[in-house]
Amino acid sequence: MASMSRREFRKSSYSSAEHECVEVGRSEGFVKLRDSKDPDAGTLDLPVGAARRLFDALRVR
């Protein structure tokens, strides 16, 4: 998969500067998640459908 630059990821609107959060990006049918405090540590790449199910499940909580 192609490398993504810092500007291709976005932080959640629920995030603040003091708290750790996850950044989200999208590339070729995948949703990419990474730690905003350590963006060079790598990404968790989920197919779009799987990411949608994950986000839906987290919203319910």
**What pLDDT digit, counting tens, does each position of 3-60 carry?**
555 568 998 776 777 777 889 999 989 999 998 888 899 999 999 999 999 999 988 7
CA-nearest of 49, 47, 46 to 22 is 46
3-state helix, strand, coil in the chain (%, to 5): 30, 30, 40
pTM of the predicted protein model:
0.73
Q: Which helix (H) or strand (E) holds 59?
A: helix 48-60
| 2 pLDDT more than 70 | no
Domain boundaries, the chain: 6-60
